[in-house]
Amino acid sequence: MSRDVASIEGLSVAFGRPPTQVLALRSVSLTLRAGQITGIVGESGSGKSTLALALIGLLPQAARVTEGAIRIGNQNIAGLPEARLRAIRGARVSMVFQDPMTALSPSRTIGGHLLDAQHRDRASGRSALRTRAIEVLRKVGVPDPAAQLDRYPHQLSGGMRQRVAIAMALLGRPELLIADEITTALDVTLEAQILHLLRELRSEIDGAILFISHNLGAIAEICDQVAVFYAGELVEEGPVRDIFHSPLHPYTRALRDCDPARIEGAARHLPSIPGETPVVRAPPTGCIFAPRCSLATELCRTKVPVWAAIAEGRGVRCHLAVSKT
Amino acid sequence: MIGYVVQRILLSLLISAVAMVALFAMVRMIPGDPVTLMLGARATPEAIARLNAQMGLDQPVITQIGLWFSRIFSGDLGVDIWSQRPVVDVVLEALPPTLALTLAGIGWAAALGIPLGCYSALRPGTFTDQALSVVSVGAISIPPFVLAIYCLLFFSVRLGWFPVLGAGEDGDLADQIWHLVLPAFAVGLGWVGYLARLVRGSMIEAMGENHVRTARAMGLPPHRIVVTYALRLAIVPTVTMLGISIGGLLSSAVLVENVFSRPGLGTLIADAAQGRNYPVVQGGVLAAVLLFAIAMPISDLVIAWLDPRVRKSL
Ligand SMILES: Nc1ncnc2c1ncn2[C@@H]1O[C@H](COP(=O)(O)OP(=O)(O)OP(=O)(O)O)[C@@H](O)[C@H]1O
Ligand code: SF4
Ligand SMILES: [Mg+2]
């Protein structure tokens, strides 16, 4: 098995204070390995972005890590002071965000952004940084890269901007590249191109990719490993084949059985499962999915299912699934 | 956007034209005969006739207005009654010190207000932020000439750090700058509060923008994030505000000039008004209005420089 790049161990993150707090992540464990694309799927509000921000040390001020560890390599970055976190960002971990229209500064040229992305390599001199910026732009499929450097973000299309954002993330030579719904704002053709690019990068960067998406089709297409989130919990994890061919958790099964055309286009809420994702403000007393689960029993409503590891990189959180295996 | 620029230029022209008519009317609205008022009761009839002719007062009003405009556009603002020099020359001489004072005042306001606003914005709601906001409001409410007097008494007279009066030696730039520091501070301080409040608001908003998050995700040091990614756009409303407030800044400068006995438009207009030297009053006020009228297009240009999205559409 390949090298562990980053791991989350029993991580719980809360926003705000009781009684209005939101328990955005609860006891989540996940390992990201070199050479793999790990997909995270889940409805809006399930904690996907919170997990991503935790990994890059960018949790908002309102967030508290209440338990667990966030490991980048061997280092636990949970609770590190800002200056130490800054050393991680853009160097060991890079992130590309959802909205390419606003992710770049309107008053800074593409070249300026790409120079800033290499701010730790300033010593090598402007022209070397420029050459490298052009090289990486070419790698991510930006046509005529040298000419783009003097342009402003508003002069580029959404797809091009997202490529620039990916180039910026790559320039720091990260061990972990996080892509948080980077294709959600793009049309289908552009999305396919960006997915193809990520797939290429997987073998090229010596590290792991975390791919967050609403789109199961996209996840199925490029991921090696899939983690399914529901209301702040990791409910199932496994190799992409297992998740799609033999899902264990009723939620994963429901997700898979949704009409894929309806999931595409970033469905905020999955139509085939009645009910909505709850906002969790206090520790649950039973299975958090029980109100929407057609298989729920008395046990499900009174006892919290624990994470059951079935094999390396394969696990589920469900009373029923565990009793079956 | 072209339409917008044309609109702004037309507005500037309109302001200027209205001011010209108002200035024309000003002399006519003074009760009594302006020429007699200017020359005094014991002027000879010849002198009165000569001045009447010189000022065109013997013509019908419409002709006078036409004459007034055509003279302004040919750069003739009449003759200074005292020195007999062209008013244009007199005004152009008084303009640089006032401009310098106004700009240096903006400089002080920006140098204090922008960092204070940023400082507050980065820690909103803390004690420092609230203390600064109280101080800001305090600074807004001090009239500039009162502040000028206190500055003068304390820093110049009591401590002797700065020169007391005047604008400094001709041709000695360092000395002139030295004389500028304190009056400019008096002009600028009242605006520090406005700027700090405005910058604070737009900085808080800017720090929440997605592109600032991108900059943070690159691990850029905080000062780079603030200056390069947040402030550059957060400053736009402040530039707009300064463009609109140039009238207020000019009038502070004019008041402060008087306290420090600096040459300039303020001193020029005040002296001329007292001495009923109407051509000079007209010329001085016209210059001030023109400054006011071009300030907005200039602030538009600065904004276009700060925000390339605006530049594109120009
Ligand atoms: N800054 C914040 N302050 C308070 N609550 C927050 C904050 N950020 C996120 N939350 C809450 O934490 C929960 C998880 O949010 P998160 O953004 O991680 O979800 P997500 O899975 O990324 O959703 P989406 O698909 O909409 O991006 C949500 O209930 C959200 O309301
Ligand atoms: S534990 Fe029970 S309620 Fe929860 S998913 Fe499994 S079967 Fe459904
Ligand atoms: Mg999200």
- Residues of A with CB below 8 A from B221's CB? 86, 119
Mutate to test the interface with B, among A56, A82, A104, A107 (most CBs of B within 10 A): A107
Compute CA distances A16 → A13, A60, B147, whole Å.
10, 10, 46
DSSP string for A292-311:
G-TT--HHHHHSPPPPEEEE
> Could you tell me if A213 and A48 are in contact, meaning their C-beta atoms sit under 8 angstroms apart?
no
The domain made up of B90-313 has a fold known as MetI-like fold (1.10.3720)
| ipTM of the complex in this document | 0.90
Q: In Å, how far are A107, B198, B314 from B240, measured between CA atoms?
A: 17, 11, 17
Residue bearing the bigger pLDDT, A38 or B42: A38
Of the candidates A4, A12, A32, the one whose C-alpha atom is nearest the C-alpha of residue A210 is: A32
For B20, the token pair is 């010209």
Q: For the segment A93-140, what is each residue's pLDDT rounded down to a tens digit?
A: 999 999 888 999 999 999 999 999 999 999 999 999 999 999 999 999
User: Integer distance in angstroms from the first to the last C-alpha of chain A?
Assistant: 24
The tokens describing B297, both together, are 């297009």
The domains located in chain A, with CATH, are: 4-92+174-263+271-283+307-318 (3.40.50.300), 102-173 (no CATH)
> How many angstroms separate the CA of residue B206 from the nearest CA in chain A?
11
Is residue A15 within 6 Å of ligand 1 at its C-beta?
A: yes
What is the residue-averaged pLDDT of chain A?
91
pLDDT at residue A51, rounded to an integer = 98
Of A28-37, A82-91, A175-184, B183-192, the one with minimum mean pLDDT is: B183-192
Distance of alpha carbon A74 from alpha carbon B39, whole angstroms: 93
CB B220 to CB A88 under 8 A?
no
Summarised one tens digit per residue, pLDDT across range A156-211 is 999 999 999 999 999 999 999 999 999 988 888 889 999 999 999 988 888 999 99
**Beta carbons of B287 and B265 less than 8 angstroms apart:** yes
- B218 vs A116, A152, A154: nearest CB: A116
> Chain B: residue nearest A61 by CA?
B123
pLDDT of residue B84: 81
> Number of CB pairs < 8 Å for A and B?
80
Residue B308: strand, helix, or coil:
helix
> What is the residue-wise DSSP string for B13-67?
HHHHHHHHHHHHHHHHHSSS-HHHHHH-TT--HHHHHHHHHHTTTTS-HHHHHHH
A78 in reach of chain B (CB within 8 A): no
Q: For residue A322, give the ligand nearest its CA.
A: 2
Tokens 């400082």 sit at which residue?
A: B119
How crowded is residue B17: how many other Cβ atoms within 10 Å of its Cβ? 13
Cβ contacts of A68 within 8 Å, gap of 6 or more: A8, A9, A10, A11, A12, A27, A28, A29, A78
C-beta of A48 in contact with ligand 1 (< 6 A): yes
Is residue B214 within 8 angstroms of chain A, CB to CB? yes
B29 at the A interface (CB within 8 A)? no
CB A105 to CB B228 under 8 A? yes
Question: Which has the closest alpha carbon to A70: A90, A93, A91?
Answer: A93
pLDDT at position A267: 46
Segments in chain B below pLDDT 70:
1-4, 27-38, 40-41, 55, 164, 167-169, 311-314
Contact yes or no for A190/A158 (Cβ under 8 A): yes
Distance (Å) from the alpha carbon of A182 to chain B's nearest alpha carbon: 13
- For A157, A185, B11, B164, B234, the CA distances from A101, given in Å and listed in that order, are 8, 9, 34, 55, 18
Burial of A259 (0-12, 13-18, 19+ CB in 10 A): exposed
Report whether A220 contacts A34 (CB < 8 A): no
Q: What is the least distance, in Å, from the CA of A312 to any CA of chain B? A: 31
Instruction: Give the amino acid at B105.
Output: G
DSSP string, B65-122: HHHHHHHHHTT---B-TTT--BHHHHHHHHHHHHHHHHHHHHHHHHHHHHHHHHHHHH
Cα separation of A176 and A33, whole Å?
9
Q: Is A70 in the pocket of ligand 1 (CB under 6 A)?
A: no
Using CA coordinates, name the residue in chain B closest to A88: B219
- Among A72, A116, A122, A154, the residue to mutate for chain B (most B Cβ within 10 A): A116
| DSSP string for B155-209 | IIIIS--S--SS---TT-HHHHHHHHHHHHHHHHHHHHHHHHHHHHHHHHHHHTS
The domain locations on chain B are 2-73, 90-313
Contact list, A56 vs chain B (CB under 8 Å)? 217
